[in-house]
Amino acid sequence: MNDTTAIRLIGQPLKRQEDFKFLAGKGRYVDDVRLPGMLHMAVLRSPHAHAKIRNVDLSAAKVAPGVRLVLSGKALAGKIGPIVPNWVIPGSKVPFRPVVATDCVRFVGECVALVVAETLAEAYDAVGRIEVEYDVLPAVIDEEVAIREGAPQLHDNVPGNITTIYKVRGGDYQNAARAADHVIGLRVVNNRLIPTCMETRAIVASPEPDGTLTVYIGSQVPHMHRRWIAETVGIPEHQLRVVAPDIGGGFGAKMHLYPEDLLCPYLARELDAPVKWWESRSESHQSTSHGRAHTENIEVAFRNDGKILGLKVETLGNVGAYLSNMASGGPTVNTVNFGTGTYKIDDYEAISRVVVTNTVPVDAYRGYGRPEGAYIAERAIDAVARHLKLDQVDVRRKNFVQPAEFPYRPYGSTGVMYDSGNYQGLLDKALAAFDYEGRRSECQALRGSGIYRGIGVAAYTHMCGMAPSRRLAMSGFDRGGWESARVSIDSSGRATIYSGSMSQGQGHITSLSQIAADVLQIPIEDIDIVQGDTRQVQAGHGTFNSRSMAVGGSSVHVSSQRIVAKAKKIAAGMLEVDEKDVSYSAGAFSVPGTDIAPVTFPKVARMAYVGHKLPDGVAPGLDETVFYDPTGMGSPSGVHLAYVEVDPETGIVDILDYVAVDDVGTLINPRLAAGQIHGGVVQGIAQALYEEVSYDPDNGQLLTGSLLDYAVPRAEHVPNIRSLFQQTASPTNPIGVKGIGESGSIAAPPCMVHAVLDALSPFGIKHLDMPLTPPRVWAAVQQARMGAAQ
């Protein structure tokens, strides 16, 4: 019998259920955890980018007030660690990374020693009393310099500072280059960023009376943290409970294994007391992973009509001093696999080198690799349009993959497949909302009066929700691609859902409830979601790679379906009819076409638990757990447009309008989806216009050491974002959803750069590297004017 869905919440812009506690100041973040007898850890960090440690003198710190323990790296060697990455591209050379440096430091900020004291103030005071003697070594900061002959070497087992070489090839680029009317090259820098979650990292490890250890950590991946901490500290995994309470933003930075994640559990066991570590903001700038940090050399071969024939890419991905958790995968699989973007470019050749330098380790940050990949494709096609003086929209249209070509494998790739999409549809919708033609003429008209406006366009697609597990094995992951969900119905018919996903602000309580409500056909108020406690949630991978709705949501969907299937069996027994005659809708099981009185879901739930009258072969209880391993990955896509005005006299860029049209498949909650776009786009605008980590190239000092010099945008730095959607359902999961979290930060950087370049086109400026700060834009205009004058 077909069920009908009287309750249909997917697609509804529901307001968030989780808001109230946050608005009332009742959110509970790790720093809010306060336990009796809790001690505080503080870390002494290296002031040098590269140095031998000659001696660490802890004596003065040991006798400082309130101090309970002081340790250097030597004391920990062999006891905990080393820190190993979780994603290692086959063939990579993995440098040895101790938890605390023993004889060499390799970046400013690396842990050198630690203090545990009764108060945080005392711990800081004692850290100030530790004396370390260093022999300073030459440092290398830049990825291009690091691979040169004679560059300072970081690790004995990483000759030339290259850990990984990764190649992708489809068709024959050389052939395409020969057939082309033009071949142009361009070098682009993808600036190094600091993810900057407003909540910095923090961790509390607490020994429990029963001999287990509870670890509170703002983790995007609680179950993975449990495994990593267990293995690296030497605690049996089942005796470790990881609790991720509310998280103040993650953006990729809170899914890696950091030294402090290991130190607190180790010290808590050593001292038999809760040990807390809280990261100050300036500390965070040198101890939490950075993002991006690429240089790419691009060559694009194309015809006079703007059709691109071939693309060649050389990527250098700067990963900092060690291979962090996923570091070898970002500049490789996640970047160059997607280098052709939304365009049909059959002849493609890419090589990526992963490079170590004396800088903070670089790892996943919102989009991880896909922003860099999209930047390659978009900067290339924009260069083609500029070179041929063709309209940027026309050139994209000419090169787009066509709707009929999905599922589409770019450049004949075996690894990359875009499941669905309609790029023309996105473009048309975006152009209409933006009034592209009107603004084009407006730009032209204003130029006469010395007003420089420009329009930027960027299109993107990527793959997210890494799966299936088998595929992750091939690319070198030590994890799977599934997600788990347990739907537990209580005897009153209400649901508690234990999800392996982990919200860091996305609003999973609301969106996962919407998914479950539609299948369970019960009111959303009757659904509770539990995340972030490995004692409660059976298993999981967590939230990253825009996977929570596609994979986590699907697992909720499937386990809810199993609940309904079992409930239907029980209902059939209660109704004394055949199961296939029972229909379910809006919380009631009925037998259509008869006058048999329906039974409600709560009644069936009660029956499941009392077990008085269950059909043969049906066990009591209404509780289903699913480990959902998708068959493939969804491909979100989008077209973004920006309208800017550049003041050539000051270099200031004013953003007049921003339109985002995104195809993320089925929309579960349009309100929350738009929120993801707003936030992602602003992070992308930040990369394009404001943010950049800088190091002194000579001594490796971090020059953007706090929020005083690292420019995270404020409200007045960014515009309203007009977010629109197109829905092309993904065939890879039962809901049809694709990921959304990373879309904005992928599309916005090239879109903004193109808008500024368009505004500056009268000056003949063809390329600028991000961030397009006023001084940088002004300098480019000056140079162009001088060039024109000569």
Partner 1 sequence: MIPAAFDYVRASSLAQAIDLLRDDPDGTKLLAGGHTLLPALKLRLASPELLVDISGIAELKGIEISETGIRIGALATHAELFASEPLYRELPVFRQAASLIADPQVRNRGTIGGSLANADPAADWPAVAVALQAEIEIVGPNGLRRVATRDFFIDIFSTVLEPDEILASVHIPRPRTGMHFIYRKIRHPASGFAVVGIAVGVRLQEGAVDEISIGVTGAANHAFAGQRASDFLIGKTLSQDNIEQAAQLLSETTECLSDRYASAEYRANLIRIETRRALFALAS
Partner 2 sequence: MPEPDNRHVVTLEINGTRKTVAVEARKLLVHLIREDLGLTGTHVGCDTSQCGACTVEIDGLAIKSCTVLAVMADGASITTIEGLTDIGAELSPVQAAFHEHHALQCGFCTPGMVMSVRQLLRDQPNPSEHDIRHGLAGNICRCTGYHNIVRAIESLASKGDQP
What secondary structure letter does DSSP report for 679? H
On whether the CB atoms of residues 676 and 510 are closer than 8 A, the answer is no
Query: Among residues 249 and 523, whose Cβ is nearest to ligand FES?
Result: 249
**Near partner 2 by CB under 8 A: residue from 708, 786, 788, 789:** 708
What is the distance between the alpha carbons of residues 75 and 670, in angstroms, rounded to a whole number? 53
Q: Which of these segments, 140-148, 195-203, 429-437, 605-613, binds partner 2 (CB under 8 A)?
A: 195-203
Binding mask 503-522 for ligand FES (x = CB under 6 A): --x-----------------
* CA nearest to 291, candidates 244, 251, 242, 239: 251
Please check whether residue 709 is in contact with residue 193, taking contact to mean a CB–CB distance below 8 angstroms: no
Task: Give the nearest distance from C-beta 698 to partner 1 in angstroms.
Answer: 13
For the residues of 709-744, what is the DSSP string, one character each? TS----GGGS---EEEEE----TTSTT-B---TTHH
Q: Are 183 and 392 in contact (CB under 8 A)?
A: no
Number of other residues whose CB lies within 10 A of the CB of residue 32: 13
Pick out residues in 233-262 that bind ligand FES (CB under 6 A): 248-249
List of residues 6+ apart from 89 with CB closer than 8 A: 164, 166, 328, 329, 332, 333, 354, 475, 476
Contact of 157 with 262, CB cutoff 8 Å: no
Q: Which residue lies nearer to ligand FES by CB, 195 or 638?
A: 195
User: Binding residues for ligand FES, how many (CB under 6 A)?
Assistant: 4
* Cβ pair 180, 298 in contact under 8 A: no
Q: Are 122 and 65 in contact (CB under 8 A)?
A: yes
* CA atoms within a 13 Å half-sphere pointing along the CA-CB vector of 322: 28
403 vs 713, beta carbon nearer ligand FES: 713
DSSP string spanning 64-98?
STTEEEEEEHHHHTTTS-----SB--TT-------
Q: Does 198 bind ligand FES (CB under 6 A)?
A: yes
Query: Rg (Cα) of the chain, in Å, rounded?
Result: 28
Here the tokens at position 601 are: 């879901």
Contact 709, 646 (CB under 8 A): no
Query: Binding of ligand FES at residue 597 (CB under 6 A)?
Result: no
Asked if residue 654 binds partner 2 (CB under 8 A), the reply is: no
Q: Which does 649 bind (CB under 5 to 8 A by kind): partner 2, partner 1, ligand FES, none?
A: partner 1
Instruction: Using the structure block, give the residue that is written with the tokens 């003429």.
Output: 441
Residue selected from 4, 6, 8, 15 as contacting partner 2 according to rule CB under 8 A:
15
Closest CB to ligand FES among 196 and 687? 196
Q: Is 782 in the site for partner 2 (CB under 8 A)?
A: no
In angstroms, give the least distance from the CB of 474 to partner 1.
43
Which of residues 32 and 103 has its CB atom nearest to partner 2 in the complex? Answer: 32
Q: Could you say which of 675, 734, 762, 774 contacts partner 2 (CB under 8 A)?
A: 675
Considering only 190-198, 444-452, 566-574, 751-759, which stretch makes contact with partner 2 by CB under 8 A? 190-198
If the CB atoms of residues 125 and 526 are measured against partner 1, the closer one turns out to be 125
675 makes contact with ligand FES (CB under 6 A): no
| Residue 16, Cβ density class (10 Å: 0-12 exposed, 13-18 middle, ≥19 buried) | middle
Cβ atoms of 91 and 328 closer than 8 Å: no
Nearer to partner 2, 335 or 683 (CB): 683
Shortest Cβ 699–partner 2 spacing (Å): 23
E strand or H helix that includes residue 641: strand 637-646
Does 282 interact with partner 2 (rule: CB under 8 A)? Answer: yes
Which of the choices partner 2, ligand FES, partner 1, none does residue 681 contact, using the CB cut-off of 5 to 8 A by kind?
partner 2
Paired tokens of 108 = 């400013």
H-run or E-run covering 565? helix 554-575
Is residue 621 a contact residue for ligand FES (CB under 6 A)? no
Q: Which position has the token pair 């009660």?
A: 606
* Closest listed residue to residue 339, CA positions, set 375, 295, 292: 375
For partner 2, the closer of residues 157 and 720 by Cβ is: 720
- Do residues 745 and 612 touch, judged by C-beta distance below 8 A? no
| Partner in contact with 363, chosen from partner 1, partner 2, ligand FES, none, beta carbon below 5 to 8 Å by kind | none
Please state, in angstroms and rounded to a whole number, the distance separating the CA atoms of residues 523 and 531: 20
* Nearest by Cα to 365 from 89, 36, 686, 674: 686
Q: Which of 10, 31, 164, 516 binds partner 2 (CB under 8 A)?
A: 31
Cα–Cα dist 197/238, whole Å = 30
Does 20 sit near partner 2 (CB under 8 A)? Answer: yes
According to the binding rule CB under 8 A, does residue 35 interact with partner 2? no
> Closest distance between partner 1 and the C-beta of residue 203, in Å?
16
DSSP state of 127: H
CB burial string 526-552: b at 16+ within 10 A, e below: bbbbebbbbeebebbbbbbbbbbbbbb
> Does 681 sit near partner 2 (CB under 8 A)?
yes
> 128 is in the binding site of which of partner 1, ligand FES, partner 2, none (Cβ under 5 to 8 A by kind)?
partner 1
Q: Which stretch binds partner 2 (CB under 8 A): 11-19, 40-48, 99-107, 387-395?
A: 11-19
Q: Which of these segments, 15-23, 104-112, 317-325, 607-615, binds partner 2 (CB under 8 A)?
A: 15-23
The one-character DSSP state at 408 is: B
CB of 713 to ligand FES, least distance (A): 12
Beta strands in 525-587 (DSSP E): 527-530, 583-585
Task: State the nearest-atom distance from the C-beta of 479 to partner 2, in Å.
Answer: 24
Q: How far apart are CA 246 and CA 219, in angstroms?
A: 9
Helix (H, G, I), strand (E, B) or coil at 189: strand
Query: Smallest distance from the beta carbon of 770 to partner 1, in angstroms?
Result: 14
Kindly state the smallest distance separating residue 353's Cβ from partner 1, in Å. Answer: 28
Which tokens is 323 given? 């291979």
Instruction: Give the one residue of 27, 403, 523, 621 binding partner 2; rule: CB under 8 A.
Output: 27
Stretch 399-418 residues interacting with ligand FES (CB under 6 A): none
Q: Which does 645 bind (CB under 5 to 8 A by kind): partner 2, partner 1, ligand FES, none?
A: none
Q: How far is the CB of 718 from ligand FES (least distance, A)?
A: 13
Residue nearest to ligand FES (CB): 198
Contact window for partner 2 (CB under 8 A) among 259-267, 278-286, 531-539, 729-737: 278-286
Q: Which of residues 267-326 bind ligand FES (CB under 6 A)?
A: none
Q: Footprint of partner 1 on this chain (CB under 8 A)?
A: 120-121, 124-125, 128, 280-282, 649-652, 690, 694, 703, 706-713, 717, 773-775, 778-779, 782
Residues 477-506 close enough to bind ligand FES by CB under 6 A: 505
**How far apart are alpha carbons 10 and 666 in whole angstroms?**
8
- Considering only residues 211 to 270 of the shown chain, the ones binding partner 2 according to CB under 8 A are 246-249, 251
Query: Given the rule CB under 8 A, which residues bind partner 2?
Result: 15-16, 18-29, 31-32, 34, 121, 196-200, 246-249, 251, 280-282, 504-507, 671-672, 674-675, 678-683, 706-708, 712, 714-716, 718, 720-721, 744
User: What is the binding site for ligand FES (CB under 6 A)?
Assistant: 198, 248-249, 505
